[in-house]
């Protein structure tokens, strides 16, 4: 059984793989620059907006922020299950 039946399908697959690789490389580059400078250039910001991503998404949460979130959980009204599940996942 042949998985790719035409040159057009092969080209589409190659294009998808290439786009994915370029996005990963750009995210890695932006993340490294952000870690060093804590800034994002306008050009990088435009890219981040297009893919709905920000380099801070890659940072490990600080322990004090997790503790703040846990304290805030105690103040959240009953019935906010999404918030509770999120905070429990940080344990």
Residues 66-88 have pLDDT tens digits of: 888 888 877 766 556 666 676 67
- pLDDT surpassing 80 at residue 8: no
Close Cβ partners of 54 (under 8 Å, ≥ 6 residues apart): 40, 48
* Rounded Cα–Cα distance for residues 8 and 16 (Å): 12
**The pTM is what?**
0.59
């Amino acid at each position: 059984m042949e998985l790719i039946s035409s040159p057009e399908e092969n080209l589409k697959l190659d294009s998808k793989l290439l786009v994915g690789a370029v996005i990963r490389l750009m995210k890695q580059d932006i993340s490294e620059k952000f870690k060093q400078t804590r800034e994002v250039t306008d050009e990088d910001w435009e890219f981040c907006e297009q893919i709905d991503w920000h380099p801070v998404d890659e940072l490990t949460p600080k322990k004090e922020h997790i503790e703040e979130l846990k304290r805030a959980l105690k103040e959240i009204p009953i019935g906010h299950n999404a918030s509770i599940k999120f905070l429990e996942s940080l344990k």
